[in-house]
Amino acid sequence: MTEKTQSQPAKEGRKALLSARERRLKEALKDNMAKRKAQAKARTAPEADAQTDK
């Protein structure tokens, strides 16, 4: 019976760590997607300008 009370806090701590990890990964993914979107936009912008100059 003492094993259950000892493992319960450990499970909660593990859930908190996983939750924190998921939050960090979600933020990193969001930042990465924004960066890639900006890069793609920057790549297409000069092409559009070059075509209008001709």
Q: What is the pLDDT along the chain (54 residues), one digit of tens a residue?
A: 455 555 667 788 888 888 999 999 999 999 999 999 999 999 998 765 566 655
**Residue 10 pLDDT:** 79
Q: Which helix (H) or strand (E) holds 44?
A: helix 2-53
pTM above 0.75, yes or no: no
Between the alpha carbon of residue 28 and those of residues 24, 31, 36, 54, the distances in Å are 6, 5, 12, 41
